[in-house]
Structures are given as C-alpha cells and as structure tokens.
Amino acid sequence: MELKYIIQSSDIFFSVKNVLKSYFQISDRLLLRLKNNNRILLNGSSVFIDFPVKTNDIVSINLDFEEDNSNIVPKEMKLNIIYEDDAFLILSKPSNIAIHPSQLHYDNSLSNGVKFYFDSINLKKKIRPVNRLDRDTSGIVIFAKNEYVQEFLAKQMNNKTFNKEYIGIVEGILSKKIGTINAPISRKENSIIERCIDEKGNHSITHYEVINEIDNKFSVINFKSETGRTHQIRVHCNYIGHPILGDTLYGNASTYISRQALHCYKMGFVHPITRKYIEFVDELPNDMNKIF
C-alpha cells in the first residue's frame, strides 16, 4: 500500500518530515522503520526527511515491505469477512474464540486464522487486531494490514472519535431507560482475569439506552463504551444490579444462552486512506436472536 500527498500552494509544510508528521501523523517509531527501509519518497525518489518541499511535489510512503509474523501459528478456519481492502480486514467474530493466542489457545485464536488467511494471499505482515473482544463476546473485530493503519485507528479510539456500539441482554428491567455509568474499574485482587469497581481504578464510562424489554424479566440495551477497559460493560452492568444474561463471571448462568449475551454490532471511523467516515454493522448471532 502506498500513501501519497500532493503539496498545495496553501500548505505550510516546509519539509518532507512536516508532511509525514502533520498530514500523515506518522509516529516516531514508524518513521524510523520507513527510513530504515527507504520507503519515504519525494516525486518518486528516496529522500532524507529534512528535504524541503514545494507546491505540486508528491510525498509518498510505501508500506509494502515484508514483516516477520512467524510468532503466530497459522490455522485454517472459516472467517466471516464483513469487509476487506488494502488497509484492513473486518471480521464477525463468533463467541467461544479468543482474539489473541495464549498458552491455552496458542493455535486456535482468531489471530491464528488471520495468519493462515494472510499467508494464503501472500501478505507478509504482522497480525494486528485493532480492537478487543472477550472470548465469549461476539461481533466486529478489525485487523490492520500495516502499522500505519493500526496507529491511525488507535488515535481515533484515544480521542474518542471511533464509534463502537454493542447490543446486550441484561437481567431485569431498568428503571432508568437512558443513562451513563461512570465507575472506575481495576483488576480484582488475587485474580488475573476478573475486574471490579474500585475508586482507585481506571476512569471508565459506559453510555446505555434500553431498546426493548422481554417478558418483563430481560432488557435489551444499546451500549456505547467511551473508555475501553477490560470487561467494562460486563462489570458496569453487574455494578448497577443488571448483569449481562449468561455472564457466569459477573452474574449468573442462564438456560437461555450458554455465554454472556453481548455482541459488538456496529463500528464507525474515518478511513485511514480515503479520510472518509465509514460504518459497519454485524447482525445479532442466532443465540441472542432466539431470546427475543
């Protein structure tokens, strides 16, 4: 993938470096990698980043250099691809699969399946999931195809311009149908997995809106997570007394569903190449749909 920018007469860029840092917002780490691989070009020729620019000059970055991704074991699996282009691969993740390999799941995570797929299309790039979902939470997962795309999307997450929405089914009927849960979250003492509300924890905000109620015992809720703490929505729901249905870690087992009824159904962000806002939707899986 190659990124290009043509210097306009109204620009105040003085050098190639100005364009890289201000327009492309290249990090220092990636800038060094591009320099070392001679991937920074001015009018088609490799240049030093301090080289001056003038109107109609073309500054380009070639991101097609190979990377070592041998740390991930390839594993053939069926991937539900929602969208793909030169920048990223967007998948619908089912429940009961982790995104990252671990000691217990070193060869059967979603990243292993993406590694097999990248090998099949001869894409020699590191496996870069942009967002995280718990093992038993289903929904949209984005894999960046290079470091620039990963950084561009991560910046949007950090400045809260990246829209991520979930549908969840919780126990009980909420008295307040629209609200915000603002409660800090930290790791629970003596646990490597469980989180809890803790006044000394990390700032955590979840916005919610009830969109349906089922048999006067369940509520279907749209969640927007302003911060991205581990297990945030699950911990916050438990905190307000309405745990996610089927969540055995923060609530109760359920005869209606065999995992937490939580699905990341929508994502919207500015595309790192076109600079246009795009949005993707992933329909609810069958195990949640059948509860309605």
- Say what the pLDDT of residue 73 is: 95
3-class DSSP state for residue 226?
coil
Residues in the chain: 292
Quick one: pLDDT band at residue 70, thresholds 50, 70, 90?
Answer: very high
Which pLDDT tens digit goes with each residue over 7-53? 999 999 999 999 999 999 999 999 998 998 899 999 999 999 999 99
- Say what the pLDDT of residue 65 is: 85
Quick one: pLDDT band at residue 256, thresholds 50, 70, 90?
Answer: very high
Which pLDDT tens digit goes with each residue over 162-184? 999 999 999 999 999 999 999 99
Quote the percentage of the chain above a pLDDT of 70: 100
Q: Is the pLDDT of residue 104 over 80?
A: no
What's this model's pTM, rounded to 2 decimal places? 0.92
Residue 272: closest CA among 59, 25, 53: 25
Structure tokens at 223: 């969640």
CA separation (Å) from 77 to 47, 80, 115? 43, 10, 10
Residue at 28: amino acid letter: D
What does the alpha-carbon distance between residue 264 and residue 216 come to, in Å, rounded to a whole number? 24
Note the maximum CA span of the chain. Answer: 68
- Say what the pLDDT of residue 102 is: 86
What does the alpha-carbon distance between residue 132 and residue 62 come to, in Å, rounded to a whole number? 28
Active site residues: 134
What does the alpha-carbon distance between residue 123 and residue 272 come to, in Å, rounded to a whole number? 19
Structure tokens at 241: 């007394």
Question: What rounded mean pLDDT belongs to the chain?
Answer: 95
What does the alpha-carbon distance between residue 18 and residue 32 come to, in Å, rounded to a whole number? 15
Structure tokens at 189: 């003492």
Q: Is the pLDDT of residue 105 over 80?
A: no
Q: Is the pLDDT of residue 59 over 90?
A: yes
What does the alpha-carbon distance between residue 129 and residue 149 come to, in Å, rounded to a whole number? 11
Which pLDDT tens digit goes with each residue over 184-220? 999 999 998 999 999 999 999 999 999 999 999 999 9
Residue 31: closest CA among 10, 17, 45: 17
Quote the percentage of the chain above a pLDDT of 90: 92
What does the alpha-carbon distance between residue 52 and residue 39 come to, in Å, rounded to a whole number? 17
Name the one residue in this structure whose structure tokens are 């009927």. Answer: 173
Structure tokens at 95: 């429940």
Q: Is the pLDDT of residue 246 over 80?
A: yes
For the chain, what percentages of helix, strand and coil (3-state, to nearest 5) are there? 20, 30, 50
Structure tokens at 127: 């496996």
Quick one: pLDDT band at residue 224, thresholds 50, 70, 90?
Answer: very high
- Say what the pLDDT of residue 111 is: 97
What does the alpha-carbon distance between residue 98 and residue 106 come to, in Å, rounded to a whole number? 10
